[in-house]
Amino acid sequence: MLHLVVSRNTEDLAWLHQLPARCSVRVYNHGAPLDPGRLPEGTQVVPMQGGGASAASYLHHLKTVGATGADDHTVFTPGNPFVHAPAFLELLRKPHRWGDVQPLSIHGAPTTAQGRGIPPHRLAERDARDWIGAMAVRPERYSLCTWGSVHFMDEQAWRHAEHHRRQHDLPDGTNLAAHFYELCGLTRLAEDAADADIGLMAYGGVFAVRGRAIAALLADAAPQLDQIATLCRADPHYPWVLERCWLHLFGLPYVRLEALARPTEAITPMATSLSRVVASIDALLARAEGEPAPRHARRVEAAAPARLQSLRDQARSALSAGDADRAMALLRQAVQAAPQDVEILADTAALAFQRGDLATAVPMARRALLLEPQHAASQFTLAMSLAALGEQHESLSLFDGLMHADCARSFRTEHPELAAIAARQSHHLLQQQQQRSTALA
């Protein structure tokens, strides 16, 4: 069965008479009173105070009605779905072909006589990958950092991104979706978004959700719905942002772009005394309790010391319990909260290396070294990661600094087991270079 949720301002709802059978209708009316005699029998009308975006209606419905049958679909739409979903009525007759979270629209603004539109007419016409049979459906794929489409120049999206960054004093390159979820108190979704690159949205907020997906959202985040509603009332920017997030709120996964495929050179058994490397992770994480942080780190932590300390404590506990995934997620939150904290970046890089996630370990270690070029722990993590990736020249240079430079003396003293690993790995890489030179000769 279908359950239709309509957010109406001034639209004519005569099209409701064309709905398929077994479709209940609930209209959230922000406009002038409706004549019940002109609506299909059984239509429920809920008066809403003042005008408003669809966000207010959808959130009110989730809080007051919630989920229906696990296999039923609830369809969310503004009062005129056809602006965004020309095949809307035809799609309503094929719910058996929908996913649990199903976008139903194809564009935002209709194409003008000059060929302009969002998305451009040429793109919408040719991108049929998500169509359902002959019925046009096209979710937009967009950057989580710029809000802009990955397929065309969306100036409106960029303006919204700039507004969000200025409003919250965020640097360019911030994952705006993760930041928005943090504002809403949705920590798990913030973690998911922070680890991804691309989101998907249904233009106009025209989409359908199966009952079990609604139930999962309410079980996980019902208390946060009021917080989202407050944000949407405070600034018209947030309903626009929420339109980009609806599908993911209901469980559609974000897209993470993987590193380029490349040949790798495995770390040799001699160099991968990973038990020793792993044993150092707890010490790295525990530094916050023992040693004073560098001057710049103390300045950053002063902004939110309790939160950062809590994240580190939770990461240590998760790692002690053997839950490296949870520890990494917590450290990623700490990086987002304090992106200039060298110690947090170094800890995240070290744990990523421990897990074999070199695509994370390398950039995290590089970020730490950009802030503190002589940070020995980050040099070690970067050197080991680059050695595993076959980047022999740079890794040898880093190992040489760790073994001989005066700035790394304390590292050699405090972590002799890691210094020994660095020496063995350096020796192994030099041997490999000599063998290659001999073979070429």
Q: Indicate the class that CATH gives domain 274-440.
A: mainly alpha
Supply the pLDDT for residue 110. Answer: 64
Q: From residue 433, give the alpha-carbon distance in Å to each of 171, 367, 425.
A: 42, 29, 12
Alpha-carbon radius of gyration of the chain: 27
Supply the pLDDT for residue 6. Answer: 97
Q: Are the beta carbons of 211 and 74 closer than 8 angstroms? A: yes
Q: Is the pTM of this model over 0.95?
A: no
What is the H or E stretch that residue 183 is in?
helix 176-184
* Domain range annotation of the chain: 2-249, 274-440
3-class secondary-structure state, position 339: coil
Tens digit of each residue's pLDDT, the chain (441 residues): 999 999 999 999 999 999 998 899 999 999 999 998 999 999 999 999 866 679 999 999 999 999 989 999 999 999 999 999 999 999 999 999 999 999 999 998 665 554 468 899 888 888 899 999 889 999 999 999 999 999 999 999 999 999 999 999 999 999 999 999 999 999 999 999 998 999 999 999 999 999 999 999 999 999 999 999 999 998 999 999 999 999 999 999 999 998 776 554 444 433 343 444 444 444 544 444 444 444 343 333 344 577 788 888 888 888 888 888 888 888 888 888 888 888 889 989 989 998 888 888 999 999 998 888 889 989 999 999 888 887 888 888 888 888 888 878 888 888 888 888 888 888 888 887 777 777 766
Asked, as a colleague might, if the bond just before 78 is cis with ω within 30 of 0, I would say no
CA distance 300 to 337: 9
Query: Following DSSP, what letter does each residue of 25-47 receive, concatenated?
Result: EEEEE-SSPP-GGGS-TT-EEEE
Tokens coding 424:
């063995």
Supply the pLDDT for residue 73. Answer: 97
CA distance 5 to 72: 13
Question: 45: which residues sit within 8 A by CB, 6+ positions away?
Answer: 26, 27, 29, 34, 36, 39
Q: Are the beta carbons of 103 and 130 closer than 8 angstroms? A: yes
Dihedral pair phi/psi, residue 69, rounded to 5°: -60, 145
Question: 166: which residues sit within 8 A by CB, 6+ positions away?
Answer: none
CA distance 282 to 384: 18
What is the H or E stretch that residue 234 is in?
helix 225-234
Supply the pLDDT for residue 260. Answer: 76
Q: Are the beta carbons of 220 and 102 closer than 8 angstroms? A: no
HEC readout, 119-144: CCHHHHHHCCCCCECCECCCCEEEEC
CA distance 195 to 213: 22
In sequence order, the β-bridge partners of residue 75 are 4, 208
